[in-house]
Structure 1
Amino acid sequence: MHPATHPTVNAPDGRTYRTPLVRRRLLRGLLAAVVALPLVGAAAACGDDAASDGKTKISVFWWGGEARAQLTEQALDLYTQKNPDVVFEKTWQANQGYFDKLATLTAGGNPPDIFQIDDNYLTEYAARNTTLDLTPHQESGKVDTSKFPQSLWQYGVVDGQLAGLASGENTQGLVYNKTLLTKNGLPEPTTGMSWEEHIAWAEEVSKKTGVPGTMDASAVDKAFWVWLRQQGKDLYKGNDLGFTVEDVTRWFELWKDARDRGATPTPDVIHEGNATDITKQLVVTGKAATSWVWVNQMPELKKNTTDELGVIAYPGDPSGQWARASMYWSVFRGTKNADIAVDVINFLVNDPEAVKLLGTDRGLPSNLDLRRVVSDDTTDEAMKQSIAVETELAESFGESPQVPIKGHSKVRAELIKSAENAQYGRATPAEAAAQFVEACKAAIAS
């Protein structure tokens, strides 16, 4: 959903969730079952804010793999070392079903004091008055965003309220197989290439290497979003769509032309790229020379190939990209320990030791000063590459768009469905575009 690498689970940008409507229908059953689940049972104890020894207990709930869990637990333990009167109820799980469980806990009146969230759901939870407005704490300095890129912290504002604090920064990255290009005497793609130039370059790669030059990005929501911004449009405008059927038709036609020219893989392989997690993106499985990912996913991609990889901005004007919050820390509006919870999330993004511990697992550190420290300290060359590229791109970032509206996860799913209808020839680009816009309007109206 958009986001950071999960070492043992799918990357956030590959997630699909049940829609809010489906979750509401499932709530009663989930509430009945939740007490039987040890993991959720731990989070459900959030209402008890006092430990047996009189210390303040703060509950924290997040998704991710085991590596993220270990890093987060270490960072929270570090907070306790520095603040002995605060202890934590730590609960984590893989991303599958995370938002179902978070919805269950909040509906049942036992939400965690602090929870991880992303831009697929921030607007929805803010609209439910579930998230604490961090604006007063930001104004008082208790939440310090002075070292954040302005567009990064602003990407957590919903209806004038700071609903989430960016735990890390990310932006879109076009990753390419540098080894393949060098071996065949082909030029590397460059930031600033137009979309048409990118497709022409990919066509040449396909002809010379036999490897399709580019993954078809017609189903990739983050690519469509950047392309829209480069056309002076946006994904959303207020509570409505920011684009028209004609815009989507042009996008689908761009990629039909790429397929017709042999610049992309066949539909079955494109579908594989649409459906798989970050560890199996086509650029590392050798089925395409480029893949459309998030810049901070470079280290995870590199683990899955012996080839050298490069990363640049998406085609077109790089100002179409922005400092996206890979995910956020939010505080429950009804917590009995708001000041402490706010101090904890500020610690996780601004304390030098905590930030060095967490590294780039949730994206590049939001604090620019500490981002440089992490880059200097790491021995992971792919991580250094990610930080260097995003730092370079930051000089041309445009203003952040509004946080996606309720129904965004459904919009993402519908883009894949409609794009694949066009990819397989089940619909013309215009027909698939009309299907997509109709489905989007239904999703955001429900």
Structure 2
Amino acid sequence: MHPATSPTSGVSAEQAHRTPLPRRRLLRRFVAAAVAVPLLLGGAVACGSDDEAGSDGKVELSIFWWGGDARNQLTQQALELYTKKNPDVTFKTTWQANQGYFDKLATLTAGGNPPDIFQIDDNFLAEYASRNTTLDLNEYKDGGKLDVSKFPESLWQYGVVDGKLAGLAAGENTQGLVYNRTLLTENGLPEPTTGQSWEEHVAWAEQVSKKTKVPGTMDPSADYKAFWVWLRQQGKDLYSGNDLGFTAEDVTRWFELWKGARDRGATPTADVIHEGNATDITKQLVVTGKAGTSWVWVNQMPELKKNTNDELGVVAYPGDPSAQWARASMYWSVFRGGKHKDVAVDVLNFLVNDPEAVKLLGTDRGLPSNLDLRRAVSAEIDDPAMKQSIEVETKLAETFGASPQVPIKGHSKVRAELIKAAEEAQYGRLTPAQAAEQFFTACKSAIA
């Protein structure tokens, strides 16, 4: 029962209706201010002169990123190298773990004090770009100050939002189907190959299940990466403009594909599938021995390999591999209202194109975006699993298609809702059609 009409609330319906209004007005004003501040700052600075150094010619840039201790140390070293080559430029650095990073970035932006340079991912790039917070890097790219000529084209294009280059790919990643090569070899079974259809993959997984008693494949019906690639192979997409790029009927077909796989014993049981949905990369089913494959990002191969003694292989997701693209593992963006935008862009160019800097940063943020430097980094890597990741991604790059648009606001909620709906179907609590309708309705609400 609604609180305004509850007989046990202790207040009248009129009071219950009226009391929250001031609080709601305050919240609306706060949200409006949070969105308006970057707009006002960007517009105000754009009218003045750019890149005014201090009286002593010195420039200090603030830069903010998330990551662990290793990423912090590597990034600090790369920035120190920039200062060594450009003594008039220094950095005010801030970093933290992923948890709470975007809350802090939102607070800094709303307070009118965003960093000059900040790390961002495709969950939030469109949101910050739509608020006019991010600098359009196109003019620098076209003017030759930001070199993306050695990038896969679909990689730098995956930073474009509404025609503006809002973020520069700090590294590249793509989807990969990782499989247990040792399990297959010991049982005389064929390895999966790039280009197999989804139906062929399910049939292969059923064969693995019967021969080894290990379910052939993790059920990826809750995995947005797999769903997205499958949609693109059907001529659809996850998003289209500011709307969804698929229908409830498309989702039904996706869920029915995997119900059929579960019915044939090609996948684990629902409880084990849930475990795969809920655990981190170190406990994916392909390394815990509970499935013959896992659906991951290619650059996660080294972390997977640390958790198994078995040999692992990796191929593209089933279906036409041109549906996959060079995805930015994360981006560097520049604040549109910063005082030293030209210098900030030069720092971005340095981090992705300077041979010494790229060698320092290695593959911490994904495979180097610059293909020439990626090959150079690969030649010096001793880790076999990382070498394998780079080789596979380089091979897949030959078949990459055009990048999709960057996900729109609400993408994180869409991902979470897919897991919820898929598990309803996996446990048999809803039919594929019912689960699809639940997901589609929730997605509409998430992006509204």
Superposition TM-score, scaled by structure 1 size: 0.88
2:359 is matched with 356
1:113 to 111, 116, 141: 116
CA contact (8 A) 1:168 1:328 kept: yes
- Within the alignment, does 1:395 sit opposite 2:398 as a pair? yes
Local SS of the residue matching 1:297? helix
CA contact (8 A) 1:51 1:57 kept: no
- Within the alignment, does 1:377 sit opposite 2:380 as a pair? yes
1:421 is matched with 424
- Within the alignment, does 1:277 sit opposite 2:280 as a pair? yes
Deviations 1:271-330 (A, max 9, x none): 111111111111111111100011111112112211111000000110110111111000
Aligned equivalents of 2:105, 2:278: Cα separation in 1: 25
1:435 is matched with 438
- Matched to 1:322, the amino acid is W
1:193 to 193, 196, 203: 196
Unaligned runs of 5+ in 2: 1-26, 35-51
1:239 to 235, 242, 245: 242
Deviation at residue 55 of structure 1 after TM alignment: 3.2
1:14 is matched with none
- Within the alignment, does 1:313 sit opposite 2:316 as a pair? yes
1:58 to 54, 58, 61: 61
Aligned equivalents of 1:52, 1:210: Cα separation in 2: 73
Deviation at residue 268 of structure 1 after TM alignment: 1.4
Deviations 1:248-279 (A, max 9, x none): 00000001111111111111111111111111
Deviation at residue 51 of structure 1 after TM alignment: 9.2
- Matched to 2:198, the amino acid is W
Local SS of the residue matching 1:293? strand
Aligned equivalents of 1:111, 1:182: Cα separation in 2: 53
Deviation at residue 228 of structure 1 after TM alignment: 0.4
1:171 to 150, 168, 174: 174
- Within the alignment, does 1:410 sit opposite 2:404 as a pair? no
1:43 is matched with none
Moved more, 326-335 or 198-207: 198-207
1:386 to 379, 386, 389: 389
Deviations 1:65-113 (A, max 9, x none): 1111111111111111111111111111111111111111101111111
- Matched to 1:55, the amino acid is K
Aligned equivalents of 2:113, 2:309: Cα separation in 1: 47
Moved more, 229-238 or 260-269: 260-269
- Within the alignment, does 1:104 sit opposite 2:95 as a pair? no
% identical equivalent positions:
82
* C-alpha RMSD of the superposition: 1.8
CA contact (8 A) 1:176 1:289 kept: yes
CA contact (8 A) 1:68 1:361 kept: yes
Map 1:22-33 → 2, pairs under 5 A: none
Local SS of the residue matching 2:182? helix
Aligned equivalents of 1:257, 1:154: Cα separation in 2: 37
Give 1 or 2 for the bigger CA radius of gyration.
2
Superposition TM-score, scaled by structure 2 size: 0.87
Unaligned runs of 5+ in 1: 1-23, 32-48
1:289 is matched with 292
Deviation at residue 352 of structure 1 after TM alignment: 0.5
- Matched to 2:351, the amino acid is L
Local SS of the residue matching 2:296? strand
Local SS of the residue matching 1:395? coil
The structure 1 segments of at least 4 consecutive aligned residues displaced by more than 3 Å after TM superposition are 49-55
Map 1:10-89 → 2, pairs under 5 A: 55-89=58-92
